[in-house]
Amino acid sequence: NDRPGTYQYHGHIGGVRVAGLGGALIIEGAISEHTASVAGEFVLPISDWWHATAEQLMQGLNEKAFRWAGDPQTILINGKGNMNCTHNELYTCNETGVCMEGTNEVAGANERPWYKPSYHPSGCDPSYCPGHEVLEVTSGQTYLLRLINAGSLSLFNLAVEGHSLTVVEVDGEPTQPYDTTSVDFNSGQRISVLLTANQSVGTYVIRVMTRARSGVRTAHALLQYAGSTAVISDPSAAEINQPAWSDNGFTFDFQSNIKGLYSGDHALPAVPPNSDVQKRFQILNTQERAVDGRNHNGVPSVDSIQTAIGTGDDRPENNCDAAGNTRNLRWFMGRRTFHMPSTPVLAKMYYDIGRADLSEDNGYYEIQVGEVYDMVIQNYPACNGVCETHAWHLHGMHFWVLGHFRGEYTGSEEQIAAFNLEDPPMRDTVQTVSEGVDNVPAVRSGCGYTVIRFRPMSPGAWFFHCHQLFHITMGSNLMFHTGSASLPPPPDNLLTCGAMTPAVLASKTHSALQTSCPIAAPIDENPDSSYEINILSGYMRPDCVDRLTITVDGQIPGRTITVKPGGIVEVIVNNQLRDQSVSIHWHGMKQNNTVWQDGAAMVTGCPIPPMTRWVYRFRANDRPGTYQYHGHIGGVRVAGLGGALIIEGAISEHTAGVAGEFVLPISDWWHATAEQLMQGLNEKAFRWAGDPQTILINGKGNMNCTHNELYTCNETGVCMEGTNEVAGANERPWYKPSYHPSGCDPSYCPGHEVLEVTSGQTYLLRLINAGSLSLFNLAVEGHSLTVVEVDGEPTQPYDTTSVDFNSGQRISVLLTANQSVGTYVIRVMTRARSGVRTAHALLQYAGSTAVISDPSAAEINQPAWSDNGFTFDFQSNIKGLYSGDHALPAVPPNSDVQKRFQILNTQERAVDGRNHNGVPSVDSIQTAIGTGDDRPENNCDAAGNTRNLRWFMGRRTFHMPSTPVLAKMYYDIGRADLSEDNGYYEIQVGEVYDMVIQNYPACNGVCETHAWHLHGMHFWVLGHFRGEYTGSEEQIAAFNLEDPPMRDTVQTVSEGVDNVPAVRSGCGYTVIRFRPMSPGAWFFHCHQLFHITMGSNLMFHTGSASLPPPPDNLLVCGEMTESAVSAKMFPETCPTTDPGTGLTTTVGPTTEATANYASRVVQVSIQVLLLALGVGALL
């Protein structure tokens, strides 16, 4: 902006602002002549602060069983707050989790799970308290205090002990000097005041308190005069005159007394007269319940407050019934509640993508550049009868505040005559003020209104919304826009999402289609299987404990996707998360010539942005088998995002006659949010996620809500599992003392999964390890199992009493119901980690009346958690099927192997700015291990928590790129980054490669069991071996080249007593052989989610020359600028392939190419429009 002032920047999606994302933005210079001679200035961002995560706070607001975030726990002054860690100064809670603030119940355990009984914040430590912000001043000098309300909910009032304040600026605009003892400023507002150090030398208390809400919070800073030796031990004891929380009269008067500066060099522009006003928008702000599929109540209107309020049942207060928690609580503006679009508004306007959606019915209002408009913002009691104080922010312009008024606006001449047209302040954020005793009006009617006048000076789409973050997500928004004609073009680094396909963008920016080359079309045939799934965030109780989840259609697991062998699969993914991108990986799909559809975020494509949709389209593998799909970005998988993917048909002749089948996704489950679990792994003060709390069998788990069966914790929060300390309060803040899970309720326990069978029949059990960490072992009481498939590939039948399957692996077994009619226990246990968890399902014979009250009492033979011998033997005994109609392809001989990658997997600490330790190598295990100080175990020192704990492969730890790997290759964007030094290895399509995956003890000496997944292809598992690979003839001769199983996910097995080898050296290795059959970038990584984020990955790629072109709905992110994408779509010459020789040459664009491209752009544009309108059809 062109005049000095105080501003701020902050996150503007989902809940990132309440999580701390923001700061001050100062335009330098004298605000006015009144600030020209100050001795100095202080910038004070002030924010309200909650101990729950942003994710938890925001999701509660969007639950139909509404969960209010509550008042903040503390206030931060310039990032510093002080919570009392030993005394509950906020709430008094009983043993059931019901919390009281005075006589008001503020938190029931089932309503607000982030409040803990006794309200002792987990991880609260007085030694970490930051102290108070100190403003050092010199006696006799005057200072400028720039006060910024960076909060998400609260109206703040600030006062300084013994000092008066003079208001000189609001929201970047100068004011006439206004003296006051304290100042109010609401969310988003800034107010600058002069303070003169005119008291005795000493230290004085600055107090900030919340107002307009009964849960008052206070925070303190200190004003310290030069030379003062005073120590303030208890700033809360200072006597400072501030208004009561409910004194809306003070707020009304304070706002009304601020006048704009209309004289001198810094004068504000004159107020346009009433005669210039083109339209006076009358916006009634109400809180109501919303009926699904409807964005309005009553008779929506922005032309009349009275029309909007309505009569009888149509009045806002008569739309507050939750109807059995089937209606969301929302905020409405003009009786319309706003829903964010799935394609940005500016893109809709500029590229003509569903422009018709931008209608008044949806909360969009067209205005003209240079014209003058008024807006009356009418307050109205919320559902609980309280007339709340709101802060309203208009993007893209400042406005004149013509006044704050009591009562209800009717448009009378007297009301209009009361507008201040002489010296109103200019702002970008304004309040509507409360009315009534304790802000509860005596009558349900309009309870105060504010009038602003504005003149848009720039074309665009300008958001107008309540700046209280929780109200934004509840719909308290509308949109002004200036139409499409005068919009400036977008920047070159424009990001795409929603319906902004490259073809649509190109149709606007490259009108000369005769110079274009054809773009890629997706698979042309109609899909054999088509699904539409919604990615949702919500609270669920899959194991009796209330927890925030991310799911497919609100289910854990998500729906099973069933496809035909070789069939075309289409999945429309609607990402309905508010602030999180998603990407779906089709685990085990080979993606021949559809590598862009693999779903590995930042490898094969950009993730799907929040509130948008994307369509995956690929061909399924050509043989029947068991697969899965799951989230492949951040922690969405551990939050519940995934499901089964089944290719129909007989896996082999051994499964052809089964009486039926059961699909059993099994996952490990934590009570902490994914956000907390994942972030702990990336802290230099490392926080391990710990063993899971429960196991879910087909989404069903059972936590004991009355007894701590996992941990014993003392009053300081240190928790023990047996003799092992598993959670210190400062190490793992999401574990609670006494480990009583918040919101655990036995009445919500889902019971056990039941498999109903008929005596004498044989069934196929498709077992899927959908977990994030655990190796599972499954056994069935009294029954044996026969392995017939692993990872979608048939095996020779192998009889066993129990089966091991690690993260990402699938294993199908035959079970014959050959026991007496009854009900039998199916047990799943975790192995390879000492914190054993168990879960149960039931095998129930037809006619059984047996009731299993305690499945844990069943005697079932399963290996001990540390029995790595069982795991080794079990894996080694699985043999591939190389005969019959379902035979696997023959193993390529050793002579075909172009390279044998030797991958040492180690856990080490990483030095900032360096992605390797020792001498990195994928050619020699011994070179990679190194000697002396270079050995992995000598790189485990955290150096005072300055080094991250990471996993390394070949002594390199992997960092995800900021531009997808495929895009780097195809568009030649930083292609040189894809080097071996960064963990990228080039391979050739059709050639044969080996990979030796060498296990090695972690920093704690444990030789862990890992699961390794290779995208885009299946491989032959040539064997699991003990010890360290050296490449000797004997070791190579031991490879199984006769009947190895084929998989896409393989284990490396542990060694040693309790998995601790006697000597630090290679502790077991696995050898696989693979042949890439499709060009692309193929991710290879540990499938244990926590290890992925810690760097246990590498990348194979086939080079750029043979890559198929991207789909026409390609998402753009990172360095994929429009010019970079267009340069490939619009070259001077077009590539063409001679069908006779197969050679690629370049020729000038042809008329046919032009016609094809133009036709395709039309098809894509129509397709995009239909998607934007929610038709869900594809051309």
Q: Over the stretch 33-49, which tens digit does the pLDDT of each residue have?
A: 999 999 999 999 999 99
Half-sphere exposure of 1146 (CA within 13 A, CB side): 8
pLDDT reported for residue 1134: 60
* Residue pLDDT, tens place only, 338-375: 999 999 999 999 999 999 999 999 999 999 999 999 99
pLDDT reported for residue 89: 58
Task: Inform me whether the pLDDT recorded for 1174 exceeds 50.
Answer: no
* Residue pLDDT, tens place only, 277-301: 999 999 999 999 998 889 999 999 9
pLDDT reported for residue 803: 98
CA distance 855 to 1024: 34
Task: Inform me whether the pLDDT recorded for 1151 exceeds 80.
Answer: no
Task: Inform me whether the pLDDT recorded for 736 exceeds 70.
Answer: no
Task: Inform me whether the pLDDT recorded for 1068 exceeds 60.
Answer: yes
pLDDT reported for residue 699: 98
Using left for φ > 0, alpha for ψ between -120 and 50, and beta otherwise, residue 791 falls in left
Chain mean position to CA 1030: 43
Range scoring the smallest mean pLDDT among 262-276, 363-377, 1088-1102, 1114-1128 = 1114-1128
443 Cβ neighbours under 8 A, 6+ residues apart: none
Given pLDDT bands bounded at 50, 70 and 90, which one contains residue 83?
Answer: confident
Given pLDDT bands bounded at 50, 70 and 90, which one contains residue 669?
Answer: very high
Q: What is the mean pLDDT of the chain?
A: 90
Given pLDDT bands bounded at 50, 70 and 90, which one contains residue 93?
Answer: low
pLDDT reported for residue 1168: 33
pLDDT reported for residue 719: 62
pLDDT reported for residue 502: 79
Distant-in-sequence contacts of 971-975, Cβ < 8 A, 24+ apart? 971/1120, 971/1124, 971/1125, 971/1127, 971/1128, 972/1104, 973/1118, 973/1119, 973/1120, 973/1124, 974/1119, 975/1104
CA distance 934 to 928: 9
Given pLDDT bands bounded at 50, 70 and 90, which one contains residue 190?
Answer: very high
Range scoring the smallest mean pLDDT among 242-246, 673-677, 962-966, 1046-1050 = 673-677
- Residue position matching structure tokens 């310290």: 224
Task: Inform me whether the pLDDT recorded for 115 exceeds 50.
Answer: no
Given pLDDT bands bounded at 50, 70 and 90, which one contains residue 847?
Answer: very high
Given pLDDT bands bounded at 50, 70 and 90, which one contains residue 1166?
Answer: very low
pLDDT reported for residue 1171: 35
Nearest partner of 45 among 19, 22, 73, judged by Cα: 22
Range scoring the smallest mean pLDDT among 455-464, 900-909, 1111-1120 = 1111-1120
The pLDDT of 1072-1094, averaged and rounded, is 97
Instruction: Please work out, in degrees rounded to the nearest 5, the angle formed at the alpha carbon of residue 978 by the alpha carbons of 974 and 980.
Output: 145
What letter does residue 1057 receive in the DSSP assignment? B
Task: Inform me whether the pLDDT recorded for 1157 exceeds 50.
Answer: no
CA distance 1161 to 1174: 20
Task: Inform me whether the pLDDT recorded for 921 exceeds 50.
Answer: yes
pLDDT reported for residue 689: 85
pLDDT reported for residue 567: 95
Burial of 1144 (0-12, 13-18, 19+ CB in 10 A): exposed
Where would I find the H helices in 230-355?
248-257, 305-309, 345-350
Nearest partner of 189 among 255, 269, 262, judged by Cα: 255
Express as a percent the part of the chain with pLDDT over 90. 78
1106 against 113, higher pLDDT: 1106
Task: Inform me whether the pLDDT recorded for 1153 exceeds 70.
Answer: no
The pLDDT of 1013-1017, averaged and rounded, is 98
Chain mean position to CA 813: 36
Task: Inform me whether the pLDDT recorded for 878 exceeds 50.
Answer: yes
pLDDT reported for residue 1132: 61
Given pLDDT bands bounded at 50, 70 and 90, which one contains residue 626?
Answer: very high
Residue type, 470: F
- Residue position matching structure tokens 């990471």: 950
1046 backbone dihedrals φ, ψ, rounded to 5°: -105, 140
pLDDT reported for residue 104: 64
CA distance 425 to 403: 9
pLDDT reported for residue 680: 87
pLDDT reported for residue 1149: 41
CA distance 425 to 354: 38
Task: Inform me whether the pLDDT recorded for 1173 exceeds 60.
Answer: no
Structure tokens at 914: 């360096």
Task: Inform me whether the pLDDT recorded for 1176 exceeds 50.
Answer: no
The pLDDT of 1065-1088, averaged and rounded, is 97
Segment holding 1122, helix H or strand E: helix 1122-1129
Length of the chain: 1179
Range scoring the smallest mean pLDDT among 726-730, 785-789, 814-818, 912-916 = 726-730
* Residue pLDDT, tens place only, 427-472: 999 999 999 999 999 999 999 999 999 999 999 999 999 999 999 9
pLDDT reported for residue 112: 35
3-class DSSP assignment, residue 577: coil
* Residue pLDDT, tens place only, 550-597: 999 999 999 999 999 999 999 999 999 999 999 999 999 999 989 999
Task: Inform me whether the pLDDT recorded for 877 exceeds 50.
Answer: yes
Segment holding 37, helix H or strand E: none
Given pLDDT bands bounded at 50, 70 and 90, which one contains residue 1133?
Answer: low
Task: Inform me whether the pLDDT recorded for 511 exceeds 70.
Answer: no
Task: Inform me whether the pLDDT recorded for 194 exceeds 70.
Answer: yes
Q: Write the CA distances from 297 to 65, 359, 474, integer angstroms.
A: 20, 17, 15
